[in-house]
């Protein structure tokens, strides 16, 4: 969350900096800010949509799969110039829709980008603590209210549409517990146990959707297999890192299959990404070579295809062979 906010400042900050405090934003400055916001939202939507397919499609096999609606919110307090973004988004308050993942309950309820959010259940956005240096906490609070409401039944969202407050009741569906965050700076893809974080400069973001989904699936695999927890308990020895990386690679096609993607896209991703990005010291020490990684991925495909043919789903919770005696 924190980094996400810093990231927003990075992308929109420079564009907003020339807007001198002494005069109001001109039409072209407003147009530039709108374009930057729209570009950020398009990238957010891409990640959220892929993440949603993976997290909801694999919910039957995740140990922890709470109700979710696929909604990403934005808080004006997270931007360097909240007023400029408020104007660009066309909202009066602080919180609005950033993206609704394709096919999610939020998208089906037509929660469009920049729709202002006034309340989640009984909790009014106006009751958030004043914006300060801990702004990331505000979105966390809103997400907690949303999660709690969804755990009890449909969540009631109060929105402002065409200047009028309206309410929508939205029912969640189970999704593996993981948030997906796009960072404006950096080209890394990472998982921290709770989140999958993808840098906007990550090479895989430009690949075809199912290959980008493969990269996201690798990171999600780390979370749903509780690798961080296991490494904390067993040590971040090179051998241990390699085992968790191999598991994440091998689980990629399973996660893809349950999300409705071609499981072979995991190998396609590795063939495209590997030769350019998987070299050097890093590869030699903690990861298998990219060609070995392709082999490990492809070795999973027959079992996945058999399961899909027999059951229409790939039950990795029972069929996936673990490399480590970790929790699932």
**Residue 186 CB, nearest distance to Zn ion (Å)?**
15
| Dihedral, CA of residue 273, residue 275, residue 281 and residue 284, to nearest 10 | 100
CB of 248 to Zn ion, least distance (A): 5
Of 116 and 245, the one with the shorter C-beta distance to Zn ion is 245
Per the CB < 8 A criterion, the answer to whether 239 and 280 are in contact is no
- Nearer to Zn ion (CB atom), residue 155 or residue 196: 196
CB 165 within 8 A of CB 149: no
Nearer to Zn ion, 75 or 245 (CB): 245
Residue 119's contacts (CB-CB under 8 Å, 6 or more residues apart) are 125, 156, 157, 158
In this structure, are residues 154 and 173 in contact, taking their beta carbons and an 8 Å threshold? no
Question: Which residue number has the CB closest to Zn ion?
Answer: 248
Cβ neighbours of 318 (radius 10 Å): 8
Pick the closer one to Zn ion by CB: 93 or 187: 187
**Shortest distance, position 218 Cβ to Zn ion, whole Å:** 6
| 95, 159, 248, 257: residue in contact with Zn ion (rule CB under 5 A) | 248
Q: Is residue 297 a contact point for Zn ion (CB under 5 A)?
A: no
Instruction: Compute the half-sphere exposure of residue 62: CA atoms within 13 Å on the CB side of its CA.
Output: 23
Nearer to Zn ion, 248 or 270 (CB): 248
- Binding pattern for the stretch 208-247 against Zn ion, x by CB under 5 A and - elsewhere: -------------------------------------x--
Q: How far is CA 123 from CA 120, 133, 145, in A?
A: 5, 22, 7
Query: Whole-angstrom Cα distance, residue 263 to residue 300?
Result: 9
As measured in angstroms, the least distance from the Cβ of 122 to Zn ion is 40
Closest distance to Zn ion from the beta carbon of 241 (Å): 9
Residues contributing to the site for Zn ion (CB under 5 A)? 245, 248
């Amino acid at each position: 969350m924190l980094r996400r906010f810093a990231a927003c400042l990075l992308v929109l900050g420079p564009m907003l900096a020339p807007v001198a405090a002494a005069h109001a934003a001109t039409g072209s400055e407003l147009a530039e800010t709108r374009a930057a916001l729209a570009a950020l939202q398009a990238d957010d939507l891409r990640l959220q949509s892929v993440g949603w397919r993976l997290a909801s499609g694999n919910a039957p096999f995740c140990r922890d799969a709470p109700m979710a609606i696929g909604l990403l919110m934005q808080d004006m307090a997270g931007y360097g110039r909240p007023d400029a973004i408020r104007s660009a988004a066309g909202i009066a308050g602080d919180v609005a829709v950033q993206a609704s993942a394709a096919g999610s309950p939020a998208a089906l309820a037509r929660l469009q980008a920049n729709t202002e959010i006034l309340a989640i259940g009984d909790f009014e956005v106006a009751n958030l603590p004043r914006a300060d240096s801990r702004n990331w906490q505000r979105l966390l609070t809103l997400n907690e209210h949303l999660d709690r409401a969804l755990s009890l039944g449909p969540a009631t969202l109060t929105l402002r549409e065409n200047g009028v407050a309206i309410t929508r009741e939205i029912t969640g569906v189970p999704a593996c517990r993981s948030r997906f965050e796009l960072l404006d700076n950096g080209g890394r893809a990472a998982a921290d146990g709770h989140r999958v974080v993808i840098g906007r400069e990550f090479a895989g973001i430009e690949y075809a959707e199912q290959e980008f989904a493969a990269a996201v699936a690798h990171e999600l695999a780390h979370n749903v297999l509780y690798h961080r927890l296991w490494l904390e308990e067993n040590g971040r020895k090179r051998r241990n890192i390699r085992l968790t990386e191999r598991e994440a690679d091998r689980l990629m096609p399973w996660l893809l299959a349950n999300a409705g993607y071609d499981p072979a896209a995991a190998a396609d991703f590795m063939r495209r990404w590997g030769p350019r990005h998987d070299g050097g010291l890093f590869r030699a020490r903690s990861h298998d070579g990219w060609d070995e990684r392709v082999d490990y991925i492809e070795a999973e495909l027959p079992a996945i295809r058999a399961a899909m043919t027999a059951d229409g789903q790939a039950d990795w919770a029972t069929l996936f062979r673990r490399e480590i005696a970790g929790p699932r």
